[in-house]
Amino acid sequence: MTLRLGDIAPDFEHDSSEGPIRFHQWLGSDWGVLFSHPADFTPVCTTELGLTAKLKDEFARRNVKVIALSVDGVESHRGWIRDIDETQGTSVNFPILADADRKVATLYDMIHPNASETFTVRSLFVIDPNKKVRLTITYPASTGRNFNEILRVIDSLQLTDSHSVATPGNWQDGDDVVIVPSLKDEEVIRQKFPKGYRAVRPYLRLTPQPGK
């Protein structure tokens, strides 16, 4: 199954390091990040999970729940968590799915046979409160994720869901944003963007980020 942007994220019930999880129920009305790891006790994944734990407050501020996946079992996960806590100077504060039967990996197309027939690739999904897939990123096993970029995209998604804007290349929270081309009524634009805008081209109109 290939998941595309806008698809409903598949629901599942699976065991984890924090007990059984029914995915959609666990997400509730929050945003979610689901990300996979090739195996337990792997070096890049250990740094990623430690970094994710340290970013707990950043994810919470955005109403985002984080859940990881690895193809090993619960007891292996618990041993690995102890290693992560010790080596990364943190405390893992989110569940790790024990996907030994590859059920979730198959649902989310995380196994790419030309890369590995058994291990998941380094996939990540951002899922909104309506359970729709809003972002997919797949890295090779050798490359760790950039979690600052993941937070940046979540900021963009949440902003553009609430306002008639898009975010330009290399945008960071607080930078100017783009008024969507479909919005043409000047009276509506004045109401929505009281700080005004700068028209670089008729289709490229920059305005201060709403709410800043």
Structure tokens at 106: 């198959």
* Short-list 40, 36, 157, 17, CA closest to 108: 36
112: three-class secondary structure by DSSP: coil
| Helix-strand-coil split of the chain, %, nearest 5 | 30, 25, 45
What phi and psi values does residue 159 have, to the nearest 5 degrees? -65, -50
Half-sphere exposure of 186 (CA within 13 A, CB side): 2
In this structure, how many other beta carbons lie within 10 angstroms of the beta carbon of residue 70? Answer: 26
Instruction: Note the helical H segments in 55-131.
Output: 56-61, 74-88, 103-107
Indicate which residues carry an active-site annotation.
Answer: 45
Round to whole Å and give the CA distance between 48 and 52: 6
